[in-house]
Amino acid sequence: MTHPGEITRRELLRRIGLTAVVAGPGAGLLSACATAGSGEEPSSAPASSIAVSADPKNPFGVDATKPLEVTIFSGGYSDAYAKDVHEVIYKRAFPAATIKHNATQQIGTQLRPRFVSGDVPDVVNNSGPEGLDPVALAEEGQLVDLTALFDAPSYDDPSKKVRDTVTPAVLANAVIDDKPLQLGYTVSHRALWYNAQLFADKGWTLPKTWAEFKALGDTAKKEGILLFAYPGQKGPYYQLWNALYTAAKIGGNQVLIDIDNLVDNAWLSGPVKQAVSAWVDIQTNYGDKAYFGLDHTQTQIKQLQNKLLFYPVGSWIENEMAKDKPKDFEYAIAPIPDVTAADKMPYGAIQVGVGENFLVSTKGKNPAGGLEYLRIMLSKEGAKGFTEKTLNLTVVNGAAEGLSLTPGLKSAAKAQDVAGQNIITDARFESWYKEMFDYGTAQINVVMAGRITPEKFCQNMQKKADAIKKDSSVTKQTRSQ
Amino acid sequence: MRRLRKYGFVAGFLAFPVALYSVFVIGPYVQAFQISFTDWNGYRSKLRYIGFDNFIRLFDDEVFWQALRNHGILLLVLPIVTVVIALFFAFLLNLGGGPRGAGMRGIWGSKFYRVVFFFPQVLAVAVVGVLFKAVYRPDEGGVVNGALIKVGFEPVGWLIEPDLALWSVIAVMIWQAVGFYVVLFSAGMAAIPKDYFEAAALDGAGRIRLFFSITLPLLRDTVQVGWVYLGIAAFDGFALILVLAGNKGEPDGATTILPVEIWKTAFTYSKVGYASAMGVVLFFLTVTFAVLTLRTTRRERIEL
């Protein structure tokens, strides 16, 4: 799901159950009995790539009678899209196959032991705060190379390859250790989200420069509305994203690419410092420190009550708050205002990213079936069904055609058109170097609260990046774009 | 033969629990020690031994030391404050009413208070956490801050000020623990023969004298047990801190504790070997604490 730091109620209860074991001296023993007999040589990795045949109906040569096991993260998107859409299509194609459907909110906890023992589901929706570590799985040869999938004829049009039917970002996002191993399925638009209805009522326009942004802050202050807030509890990573995207807007995507590649002194670059300073200034002059103690839901409710104008988040917010949203509240996306007069990316740049990763396991009983399942997900029917069930867009081009989109999604689509080529990239160290990302989410709170200077923030982050770079136990990843 | 039958009988009863204990308690402990000498990431099927590297790395780990500092504070504050408050309440509930008839009485309404004191203990830690999240909420929606704002004070960031956060958490831990220790100490006090109090009271001892000269010395063993329990609790705090402050030790590492770090290192950062090393250290810390406490406070038993 889109909230790596969120603790769901169920998960919380489970964690409480955990404490019985973690409490006191027994901590660290949770891993008990987790190794599959020490000292054994790893079983020779099965072929991680599958050949593609020309048969557009069954390019991976799926055995029509073999069962397929699918594990879905039943978080914000629930699992109906798999059960009622994708699996139904699969059954239609292979009526003799049985599908074992499994939905959980603890993907990692449930599947880690299964991956170690070799009894794995074929398709895994690797999501949620307790997801599996894809890099570690890739290292073990547990993931099927998706090149075959991307080169296969697409489900709807055999003359087109799958890779030509999806947003190009999918292909970049898929890469782990130089091979495409995971499929991001959803598209989200991140920038600042606000209530378009409120702006219309007050006659306000979106600020395009930092000066206009602050001027609006003064106007809003008079009405008792806060210009900007982010949740200091559970959701500070929203602000880390926001600061990073602002840095990319100022200095171009290369700023984030350098950070991801652990380039020396990447965090000390001018744009990062400028972006952080700009936001610290907003927090100091227009913020409210109470939000450091509120979580994302509490903050989002406050926005629904028109107590704050801009909230740094992604397009899933609309669906997430659908139940609490009053009728006169209309979510819309606002690009980050120009920080300097010479920002590399012009006003209008937003972040468009892919997420919600799916994996096919090499050691499953039916890897070809797994690939076919992903191909079905990338069909127009499959993607449309997902959007209908979850109100979120998929990476499949044109799959939402004919669907009546919500105001928020419409605004996001429009913003993407306006942005054109000026799409801010995602910061991949979030999944590559989780430790650095976690440290960043803690540090952003410290700097925003004014307990350290933006310079110190950059230095701290650089120190952490250097430590990660030196840490031989962390597998390094690189990206070129 | 008879002997064999006797021990066979005992062994027959013990076999099952011992087997369970070995599989579910001893086994995991042994395995954690084993894994702490590897760089296992939770996914590999083979363990690679790296000797004491994990333990050496711990020495340079700022977060680890931060956690130890926090455990130190917890260890100093939590047992003392909880035991003092619990003793005070237990004394009031059982003996505070002074001598009356044959024996001692608690203060008026003590039966009611006893139930009330025990309430927090009945609540699940998660519930307590969520409850106090609402109490500590830093805006006008918080129970404490709502009142403060109404009276005209600035709201206090109980859980977001680095100097306050740990103390706020400790307050909740104490609030939750006191009830149990009141009951524990009450049971201990009930076991003290009434004659002692009567005799002392006849000699003119007041309530304070009764407490320090009769109750406390005779309650020593119970207090000692309570002390060890609370000390072990000071090495935990996992659930409460996770709910109240999250898993990043926020703010600024003020609520960083080992159990949360272990859990995160193992399952979020995929460094199970390193996390196990932390677990092993935590194991020795807890055992050392328990043994030290029992050793240093040992003395001759008083025969009642």
Nearest CA in chain A to B127: A13
Residue A73: per-residue pLDDT: 92
pLDDT tens-digit readout, B225-253? 899 999 999 998 899 999 998 888 888 88
Residue A20: per-residue pLDDT: 34
- Longest CA–CA separation in chain A, Å: 70
Please, which pLDDT band fits residue A415 given cuts at 50, 70 and 90? Answer: very high
Nearest CA in chain B to A234: B246
Distance in angstroms (rounded) separating the CA atoms of residues A216 and A319: 27
Burial of A312 (0-12, 13-18, 19+ CB in 10 A): buried
Phi-psi region for residue A177, left (φ > 0), alpha (ψ -120 to 50) or beta? left
Distance in angstroms (rounded) separating the CA atoms of residues B267 and B255: 19
Distance in angstroms (rounded) separating the CA atoms of residues A138 and A182: 10
pLDDT tens-digit readout, A462-481? 999 999 999 888 889 998 87
- Give me the residue from B32, B44, B243 closest to A32, CB to CB: B32
| Contact status of A110 with chain B (Cβ, < 8 Å) | no
Cβ-based contacts of A232 with chain B (< 8 Å): 160, 250
Torsion of CA B26, B262, B162, A5, to 10 degrees: -130
Lowest mean pLDDT, pick from A320-334, B7-21, B56-70: B7-21
What's the one-letter identity of residue B39?
A: D
**What is chain A's mean pLDDT, rounded?**
87
Nearest CA in chain B to A9: B126
Distance in angstroms (rounded) separating the CA atoms of residues B50 and B57: 12
The CATH class, in words, for B60-296 is mainly alpha
- Interchain CB distance below 8 Å, A25 and B276: no
Answer yes or no: is pLDDT of B16 > 50: yes
- Give me the residue from A23, A41, A142 closest to B236, CB to CB: A23
Burial of A54 (0-12, 13-18, 19+ CB in 10 A): exposed
Residue B294: per-residue pLDDT: 84
Distance in angstroms (rounded) separating the CA atoms of residues A383 and A396: 6
pLDDT tens-digit readout, A97-138? 999 999 998 898 899 989 988 899 999 999 887 789 888 899
Answer yes or no: is pLDDT of A235 > 60: yes
Nearest CA in chain A to B28: A32
Cβ-based contacts of B176 with chain A (< 8 Å): none
Instruction: Provide the token pair at A70.
Output: 């699918």
Lowest mean pLDDT, pick from A351-365, A389-403, B81-95: A389-403
Residue A23: per-residue pLDDT: 36
- Interchain CB distance below 8 Å, B251 and A136: no
Interface of A with B in 424-463 (CB under 8 A): 434-435, 438, 441-442, 445-446, 449, 451
Please, which pLDDT band fits residue A238 given cuts at 50, 70 and 90? Answer: very high
Q: How many CB pairs under 8 A join A and B?
A: 197
Please, which pLDDT band fits residue A33 given cuts at 50, 70 and 90? Answer: very low
Distance in angstroms (rounded) separating the CA atoms of residues B183 and B150: 37
- Alpha-helix residue ranges (DSSP H) falling in A449-479: 454-470
- Interchain CB distance below 8 Å, A35 and B35: yes
Over residues B21-50, mean pLDDT = 91
Over residues B197-203, mean pLDDT = 84
| Contact status of A32 with chain B (Cβ, < 8 Å) | yes
> Could you give the ipTM of this predicted complex?
0.84
| Contact status of A39 with chain B (Cβ, < 8 Å) | yes
Answer yes or no: is pLDDT of A341 > 90: yes
- Interchain CB distance below 8 Å, B137 and A293: yes
| Alpha-carbon distance A465 to nearest alpha carbon in chain B (angstroms) | 15
pTM tops 0.95: no
- Give me the residue from B162, B238, B278 closest to A28, CB to CB: B278
| Alpha-carbon distance B20 to nearest alpha carbon in chain A (angstroms) | 14
- Give me the residue from A36, A108, A445 closest to B250, CB to CB: A445
Residue A384: per-residue pLDDT: 93
Cβ-based contacts of B162 with chain A (< 8 Å): 451
Over residues A217-240, mean pLDDT = 94
Lowest mean pLDDT, pick from A260-264, B85-89, B121-125: B121-125
Stronger pLDDT, A202 or A35, i.e. the higher one: A202
Stronger pLDDT, B98 or B259, i.e. the higher one: B259
Architecture of domain A46-187+353-409: 3-Layer(aba) Sandwich (3.40)
- Interchain CB distance below 8 Å, B236 and A116: no
Domain ranges of chain A: 46-187+353-409, 189-351+427-470
Cβ-based contacts of A115 with chain B (< 8 Å): 43
Stronger pLDDT, B252 or A455, i.e. the higher one: A455
The DSSP symbol for B204 reads: T
Residue from A473, A474, A475, A477 to probe the interface with B (highest B Cβ count within 10 Å): A473
Instruction: Provide the token pair at B190.
Output: 């009930």
Residue B99: per-residue pLDDT: 59
Cβ-based contacts of A38 with chain B (< 8 Å): 34, 46-47
| Alpha-carbon distance B282 to nearest alpha carbon in chain A (angstroms) | 6
Matching residue, tokens 């509490």: A298
- Interchain CB distance below 8 Å, A19 and B238: yes
- CATH H-level, domain A189-351+427-470: superfamily: Periplasmic binding protein-like II (3.40.190.10)
- Give me the residue from A7, A137, A232 closest to B43, CB to CB: A137
Answer yes or no: is pLDDT of A178 > 60: yes
B194: phi then psi, degrees, rounded to nearest 5: -65, -25
- Alpha-helix residue ranges (DSSP H) falling in chain B: 2-21, 27-35, 53-59, 62-94, 110-122, 125-136, 143-151, 165-190, 194-202, 207-210, 216-218, 220-234, 238-245, 258-267, 272-296
Stronger pLDDT, A451 or B9, i.e. the higher one: A451
Nearest CA in chain B to A22: B259
- Give me the residue from A33, A142, A473 closest to B39, CB to CB: A473
Cβ-based contacts of A449 with chain B (< 8 Å): 160, 251
Torsion of CA A153, A157, A160, A163, to 10 degrees: -70
Please, which pLDDT band fits residue A21 given cuts at 50, 70 and 90? Answer: very low
Cβ-based contacts of A438 with chain B (< 8 Å): 248, 264, 268
Residue A6: per-residue pLDDT: 44
Q: How many CB atoms lie within 10 A of CB A146?
A: 27
Domain ranges of chain B: 60-296
For residue A439, the SS3 value is: helix
pLDDT tens-digit readout, A37-75? 444 444 444 456 777 777 788 999 999 999 999 999 987
- Closest alpha carbon to A126 in A140, A148, A111, A114: A111
- Interchain CB distance below 8 Å, B42 and A435: no
Q: How many CB atoms lie within 10 A of CB A10?
A: 13
- Interchain CB distance below 8 Å, B158 and A40: no
Residue B117: per-residue pLDDT: 86
Stronger pLDDT, B301 or B80, i.e. the higher one: B80
pLDDT tens-digit readout, B68-105? 999 999 999 999 999 999 999 998 888 776 656 555 67
Distance in angstroms (rounded) separating the CA atoms of residues B179 and B222: 15
Residue B104: per-residue pLDDT: 65
Residue A279: per-residue pLDDT: 98
Answer yes or no: is pLDDT of B304 > 60: no
- Give me the residue from B41, B275, B276 closest to A136, CB to CB: B41
